[in-house]
Amino acid sequence: MPEMVEEFNMEKVMEEFERVTKDAERIQRETLEKILEDNASAEYLLNLGLNGRTDPESFKAFVPLVTHKDLEPYINRMLDGDFSSILTGKPITTMSLSSGTTQGKPKYVPWNDELFGTTLQIYHTSFAFRNREFPINNGKALSFIYSSKQFKTKGGVLAGTATTNVFRNPGYRHAMKAIQSPCCSPDEVIFGPDFHQSLYCHLLCGLIFREEVQLVSSTFAHSIMYAFRTFEQLWEELCVDIREGVLNSKVTVPSIRTAMSKLLKPDPELASLIHKKCMGLSNWYGLIPELFPNAKYVYGIMTGSMEPYLKKLRHYAGELPLLTSDYGSSEGWIGTNVKPRVPPELATYTVLPQIGYFEFIPLTDLEGTKGDASFLCMDPKPVGLTEVKLGEEYEIVITNPAGLYRYRLGDVVKVTGFHNSAPEVKFVRRSNLLLTINIDKNTEKDLQIAVETASQFLAGEKLEVVDYTSHIDLTKEPGHYVIFWEISGEASEEVLAECCNCMDKSFVDAGYTSSRKVNCIGALELRVVRRGTFQKILEHSLALGAAVSQFKTPRCVGPTNTKVLQILNENVVKNYLSTAFT
């Protein structure tokens, strides 16, 4: 991996980006060669008979495509304390935890310093292009980041979320110093053990430094939206703290209280100003620029499962632009956003050929389906990074420096263009997130569109969908879709019944509509849950080891995700069956 730069040179980073994307195929070969050379002694590669070969042809001939399930026996040995060269040349001593929202439990994936190096490369590249368009001058960042604790497995392996492993890396602070605006909040808040207390203090610190805040950010859009929903409930308490210069008694962590006492001084003038601004806002529209008049943009991952939060985020942001950050996963980074002015819904990511070795499985349409990865032939033939075709959809296969070889990530992307010879991709969906009963194939995006279309009926009652998810109910014949909604207040029976019918009609997949008409799929069911239900799902996720800044609401709750399903069903207050096809 390249050495970490001592001083950040924006022009140099952009020149390097041009260089690697112009000769992406050669850079890919070199990247694979380096990964295989470093890990030639790994038991996994030796058992496959690679025997030190580093060329792509041998690699593809000897190393099979795998999923996480295939690697679990090796990963479990590491978790149990086997520090031999299992997947990598150097023993793996740290694991990352995925968010766990897809399958209901977090996955462990190997983490090492080389993966940290690719993280810095992504950060540096996106910052160079972002700062060219939106320069930050000696400002602070209101960053809603929470570094959950690292812990040791029974075998002595350090484990934490991917973001935690980045934040707690000894080289992180030094490497990011030149490109990262200082965070408003002290480390004690970021690394605090209770995210509710940390969030309260993040908001308080932002208000204290309101004139200096030049950007508002978090890892995911959900965290930013959640923070300002929380502000709506707590703003008067925050004003009291600022007026009196004394931290709210509900913040009990000693280290946080000590750190905050150094920042918090009585400021009645500031408290009155914030109070006046909050009272003057209409339904909290433009809250962020009102509170932080020098903020230039709002920044975080805003694509994929984060898209449903953009409407609310835009409401808070007013005229401030929303900038989506880079494209990656717990398993590794994929691409960087070099067009920050493009709205998140249209955002594309340029795949960086030097951060991993990438292959792409073409998604073929079979019997009129939407070409999902689960319908691919048993022996798919991936193509290389520079062999992808414009307009086509692919499932990503990644080989990274931390022991994942030809790993099926499960993400489906569409090639929208090329930057030199490197593809620009748009995230489409998770390949395994599908609503399907019969011959229907509805994706996460289809679900989002159905919910957004139906939720327009709530506007007349000045209500909105706070969050949502779905489930396939096969407990009785025929099976049917169940959509769970949490809404911001009490809607009338008539409106909710109309919302239910509208959602049923909004799934335009031919397999769904034809199955509904002949009753091979039952009537869609809308279950309205009480306020705070999705907060309980968040709390459950945190209990499993997730960090709040890495949390993603599961959009389709499968039968294995029993606890989340239990939380949802225990909090249903109303339910409606569609009459759209009767």
Model confidence at 102: pLDDT above 70: no
Peptide bond into 478 cis (omega under 30): yes
Model confidence at 3: pLDDT above 50: no
Greater confidence, 95 or 25? 25
Model confidence at 374: pLDDT above 60: no
Cα–Cα nearest to 473, from 430, 515, 524: 524
Is the Cα torsion angle 17, 19, 20, 21 positive or negative in sign? positive
Helices (H), 295-349: 310-317
Percent of the chain beyond pLDDT 70? 93
> 């808070």: which residue's tokens?
316
Model confidence at 418: pLDDT above 60: yes
Q: What is the pLDDT of residue 100?
A: 57
Question: 124 CB contacts (<8 Å, ≥6 apart)?
Answer: 5, 8, 13, 179
Helices 195-208 & 221-244 angle (0-180, nearest 10):
70
Contact by Cβ (8 Å): 86, 44:
yes
Greater confidence, 525 or 433? 525
d(CA 43, CA 49): 10
Confidence band (pLDDT; 50, 70, 90) for 161?
A: confident
Q: What is the pLDDT of residue 5?
A: 39
Q: What angle do CA 502, 504, 506 make, to 5 degrees?
A: 65
- As beta bridge partners, residue 396 has 360
d(CA 201, CA 401): 37
d(CA 87, CA 474): 40
Average pLDDT over residues 218-231: 92
Confidence band (pLDDT; 50, 70, 90) for 144?
A: very high
Confidence band (pLDDT; 50, 70, 90) for 168?
A: confident
Model-level pTM? 0.84
Please state, rounded to an integer, the average pLDDT across all residues of the chain.
89
Most distant CA atoms of the chain, gap in Å: 72
Q: What is the pLDDT of residue 486?
A: 94
Model confidence at 239: pLDDT above 80: yes
d(CA 218, CA 301): 8
Model confidence at 287: pLDDT above 50: yes
Q: Provide the CA 303 distance to its chain's centre, in angstroms.
A: 8
Percent of the chain beyond pLDDT 90? 63
Going across the sheet that includes 480-487, the strands are 465-473, 480-487, 525-529, 572-577
Task: State phi, psi for 325 to the nearest 5 degrees.
Answer: -90, -150
Model confidence at 369: pLDDT above 50: no
Confidence band (pLDDT; 50, 70, 90) for 546?
A: low
